[in-house]
Structure 1
């Protein structure tokens, strides 16, 4: 079984790293730089978008952070991160909400793009304030995004909540803070952060 992880430690690759550490299986890490190897033919054959993260598992390529989280949960069921039948609705609902409407809303806000009332009918997220409010409701409904236990969806949703609140893109309300306290205390999250911080230091030294 071969599992290779393509990343840059200053990217969304941190989401996939956390998920890999939660799964707990051996993997090889390939660190790419933005202007060189990430644009090269070898990596373009893996991800034509020339973005990270990506994984190659036994010859199968998976890109996009949410897809990687869901794939790894299914590929390694012993980790217990895939949803039970009772958890599937919230698991998939909020995983795709975070990858779709939430990502778009935060990206637009960070670029100072504000859709007009007419444009909001076309935008998948409607407007930013509504999207942020729905996110807060989602993380406050249960201890974890899909229910009473941690799943792969928390890796993706939680990473977004952590980043967006850290940079002031979404308010860090008491509900958000309590959710982050639960998920960011996990050993796998801490291991992943240490690995990425070390990789980032190496990238800086070599660059």
Structure 2
């Protein structure tokens, strides 16, 4: 298993199992890298001076690899794909158009639309040109069209972009924060069968169970 307790490990993963850290965990399992996990609690631990020196936002996830700090889930996914090329999770440089397009589509329009929807923020018709995603329905329609015509978000092969995009869809469907669209379920069903997804999920679920038992 990639998780280690060795203090000499050159990849440190700061997370909380009930956070977006689940996305980074899945990506770490996909690349098969050995990493040391540091579980931070919401509140004082994430806002401690020590951690704010690593991530000034006081949020998780964060990875530190060979002394280099990477924050933001989309960036972590893209970085790990490049840092561990043997995993084959990033297309060649001359074939990254769709990979970049959908990775940043999800980090921008998709996440903004989903968050605003969850917060009951209503964007009026005349305000749609002012927000990066236009409208919630348009974002989901565009994503649905893509997934009806491509087995994975960047094409025929699974990439790091699927970890990020797929996490949004899996959570959205599970928690009811995303409306169902054609192609979403079929795509999700392919993702949850991956061994790295299963392994990552098992680790976080165990951590959650231990925290609840201890609390």
TM-score range, shorter chain: over 0.9
Cα displacement string for residues 133-176 of structure 1 (whole angstroms, at most 9, x for unaligned residues): 11111222211111111000000000001011112222233411
Q: 1:53 aligns with which of 48, 61, 77?
A: 61
For structure 2, list consecutive stretches of 5 or more residues without a partner in the other structure.
1-8
Equivalent residue, structure 2, for 1:75: 83
Equivalent residue, structure 2, for 1:177: 185
For structure 1, list consecutive stretches of 5 or more residues without a partner in the other structure.
none
- Cα deviation for residue 85 of structure 1 reads 4.0
Backbone CA RMSD of aligned residues: 1.2
Q: Does 1:165 align with 2:173?
A: yes
Question: Structure 1 segments of 4 or more deviating over 6 A?
Answer: none
- Cα deviation for residue 119 of structure 1 reads 1.6
CA distance in 2, matches of 1:51, 1:138: 31
Equivalent residue, structure 1, for 2:125: 117
Q: Give the count of matched residue pairs.
A: 207
Q: 1:19 aligns with which of 27, 31, 38?
A: 27
The answer to whether the 8 Å contact 2:81/2:88 transfers is yes
Query: Which secondary structure does the structure 1 equivalent of 2:46 belong to?
Result: helix
Cα displacement string for residues 160-205 of structure 1 (whole angstroms, at most 9, x for unaligned residues): 0101111222223341110011111000000000000111122223
- Cα deviation for residue 120 of structure 1 reads 1.0
Which is further off, 44-53 or 84-93?
A: 84-93
Cα displacement string for residues 11-52 of structure 1 (whole angstroms, at most 9, x for unaligned residues): 000000000000001100000000121111111111111111
- Cα deviation for residue 87 of structure 1 reads 3.7
- Using structure 1 for the length normalisation, give the TM-score: 0.96
The answer to whether the 8 Å contact 2:27/2:77 transfers is yes
- Using structure 2 for the length normalisation, give the TM-score: 0.93
Which is further off, 167-176 or 59-68?
A: 167-176
Equivalent residue, structure 2, for 1:9: 17
